[in-house]
A and B are shown apart, each in its own frame.
Chain A
Amino acid sequence: SQQGEEDPQALSIQEGENATMNCSYKTSINNLQWYRQNSGRGLVHLILIRSNEREKHSGRLRVTLDTSKKSSSLLITASRAADTASYFCATDSQGGSEKLVFGKGTKLTVNP
């Protein structure tokens, strides 16, 4: 079963615009991570946010976490065509196994 659900499933924007993707999850967590995947192969880690953090930045990426709503958002500012990829959120489960459970992802297309 998949813990996280990303929204929207697909997003198409123009280069230079901002892209926002959302993730909702079901159980209490210790950490939430965002990953990027090109062409359906290896995933690349983008950012990890801990349950006691509310916001984190990395370059053009901004991640927020609202544990009361069990949701997170990933904002990519000033998007580029090279940002075109699928983006996944992944969570562990507080008190449970240390496995990481992924959502179904958001497919982002940035048009030049």
Chain B
Amino acid sequence: GAGVSQTPSNKVTEKGKYVELRCDPISGHTALYWYRQSLGQGPEFLIYFQGTGAADDSGLPNDRFFAVRPEGSVSTLKIQRTERGDSAVYLCASSPGALGREEAFFGQGTRLTVV
């Protein structure tokens, strides 16, 4: 595809349920990032992959959040036992190299609503 694709675009789930959010980065981009954005705030860093490995997961808020990128391409962000405070837009970005040094390409995000 031409850009970063995130699915689903919207997800409504009940408190306590498990959700998976998917990100398809631009082909060939080695760096992949997950961010979370609440209304009126800037994107908040969650986790960064370089290839298959998580290079920095310091932004994950707690152990209910987990992300994988098993083949160095598609990534899945997994949230267990969802809480209403998890409601936000989850953004994925990819970059040819280290994000701080190169332009990031963002997907349109997944709006997660926990009811």
Residues of B within 8 A of A100 (CB): 33, 45, 99-100, 104
- Within the complex, the shortest CB–CB distance from B2 to chain A, in Å, comes to 13
Q: Are B33 and A103 in contact (CB under 8 A)?
A: no
Chain A residues within 8 Å of B, Cβ to Cβ: 2, 4, 30-31, 33, 35, 40-45, 48, 88, 91-93, 97-105
The winner among A31, A100, A104 for most chain B CB atoms within 10 A is A100
Number of A-B contacts (CB under 8 A): 80
Q: Are A97 and B48 in contact (CB under 8 A)?
A: yes
Q: Are A40 and B39 in contact (CB under 8 A)?
A: yes
Known contacts A100-B45, A100-B104: does B91 contact A43 (CB below 8 Å)?
Answer: yes
- Within the complex, the shortest CB–CB distance from A103 to chain B, in Å, comes to 5
Q: How many residues of B contact A (CB 8 A)?
A: 33
Q: Are B45 and A99 in contact (CB under 8 A)?
A: yes
Q: How far is the CA of A88 from the CA of B56 in the complex (A)?
A: 22
- Within the complex, the shortest CB–CB distance from B92 to chain A, in Å, comes to 10
Residues of B within 8 A of A102 (CB): 35, 42-45
Q: How far is the CA of A31 from the CA of B109 in the complex (A)?
A: 25
